[in-house]
A and B are shown apart, each in its own frame.
Chain A
């Protein structure tokens, strides 16, 4: 009976997750194109991508994107969660508003972001040049493209991380903070000595999720910049897309996607390792 219940899910996960993941590893060892014969070339694709400046560029862009957006969005999320954990008028409304970007299609809202930064019609472009910060060609300017897609990424995920932090804050027993307050500990000291250490689990969880999200960034780059100008916003997923589905170099694209698997898996394992060893108890 149990098998009948679980069979459809296992069949599906096997067929569209495990099979393609392994298949992609095998493809990454071949010179497969969309048509024609495929030859086994061992680690040829990996050797090629490690020599390919375009791969290093994508890895660098993705890492830079992760290193900037993950800490900023997690930091902002923590601040908003702390502010919205106390009694406030319209608290529920603020929570929903800050969370709201997470429910809209990133691909579609990126069209609006691109237009808001457009030198012709963009409201942000107009406002920024008003305050003496002209952004030139907007997302077509190499200096502004990456910051623009970063802002969109931060805008998108902060609310989600905030909700995770709110859950973490609510799991801290009230009495601990109240006792410290009676003992005269200031707000900042209470945060440093009580809230922050007790949030360690949540923080690690959120940071790892943020890193994994960043390494999978695609939508706003595809819509706003197509990876340009001059590949300055080409991320790893964009490179997989363009090598695999534009140039039809399936072997090479599969190799890049396996590098992505290894990076994401490494983050997940860090998380599991941490929770195994040292979960904060209270």
Chain B
């Protein structure tokens, strides 16, 4: 190996060694070339993948005239912050941002607790009906959520929950995927821990809250991130349950505004960017763990 990286491989070496080092070097060079090609290809792919967000950033700082005048350019001719000022006035952006934060975070917090409790029971307790409960949870994974929307809408309408915060949140809490994911995690934890705690006289609730939940932090983070993303990003559900702009979340609010004023390009891009930013930042911090979390459980 050392011969191939040495700067003077031919300096007084036996002939046989020198030839292997040449062929070795040639394959090394080929490998480097193919790596360079792959990296170039992936850079082109990345540029395309990021284009919508890059264009969004650019458009959000440009004037209408600039956008119409230079549609092929990514760089602002005139840099303006006007769009960012307008978005708070043209739509109830602050209110919708607050709605989105409240909706997504309360669904996530409550779901995590309920999912974790159910997953823990399925993984750690033996009780009659456990298999049935688990099968029912798996079956819910196969039902397309859209089929539930018409009856749920009727139910919420009867309760007077349309355009209310609880109407948005309550039907969304707990999901089968989270229970399934966390169950797999709890199954893999060693049993000694809880046995030791039980010998020390700890109750089941204490064991769950003090020992199991802290141990499950990585899995809870993955499920939490998933739930947060799904609800922050969701369009159809908020669209159905809220008709009042004051109660809408950002995806529904922005989509509806786009439907009515489809040529407020810069302003809509400023609002869109602000709406995406919190999840982009969250993803930036958890990206590695999150991607690995999907990878390890997606297959099981």
Contacts and interface: CB of A to CB of B under 8 A. Distances in A.
Interface stretch (B1-9, B83-91, B138-146): B138-146
5 contacts: A8-B114, A105-B235, A155-B52, A164-B299, A240-B149
B18 interface: no
Contacts of B295: 163-164, 166-167, 170
Interface of A is mostly: helix
Nearest to A240: B146
A20 B74 CA distance: 48
A102 B251 CA distance: 15
A189 B74 CA distance: 43
Contact of B254 (A13, A18, A111): A111
Interface string B263-280: 101001100100110011
Range class of the A interface residue count? 35 or more
Interface string B246-268: 00001110110011001101001
A234 interface: no
Given A6-B133, A16-B148, A170-B295, 5 more contacts: A5-B121, A13-B174, A104-B276, A121-B71, A167-B296
A80 interface: yes
B79 interface: no
Nearest to A264: B144
Contact of B49 (A17, A88, A100, A127): A100
Nearest to B41: A83
A104 B120 CA distance: 31
A202 interface: yes
A122 B70 CA distance: 9
B288 interface: yes
A24 interface: yes
B150 A108 contact: no
A244 B149 contact: yes
Given A3-B127, A120-B68, A120-B71, A94 B46 contact: yes
Contact of B258 (A86, A94, A111, A202): A111
A115 B74 contact: no
Contact of A9 (B114, B235, B279): B114
Given A5-B120, A115-B59, A261-B143, A205 B74 contact: no
A168 interface: yes
A167 B287 CA distance: 15
Interface stretch (B152-160, B194-202, B213-221): B152-160
A64 to B, nearest CB: 19
Interface in B51-106: 51-53, 55-56, 59, 67-68, 71-74
Interface in A145-183: 155, 159-160, 163-164, 166-168, 170-171
A53 B174 CA distance: 38
B49 A98 contact: yes
Contacts of B29: none
B254 A108 contact: yes
A114 B147 CA distance: 28
B118 interface: yes
Nearest to B295: A167
A226 interface: yes
A96 interface: yes
A116 B49 contact: no
Interface string B7-30: 000000000000000000000000
B190 interface: no
A5 B117 contact: yes
A210 interface: no
A19 interface: yes
Contacts of A21: 143, 147-148, 151
A104 to B, nearest CB: 5
Contacts of A23: 151
B49 A126 contact: no
B133 A10 contact: yes
Interface in A12-63: 12-13, 16-21, 23-24, 27
B245 interface: no
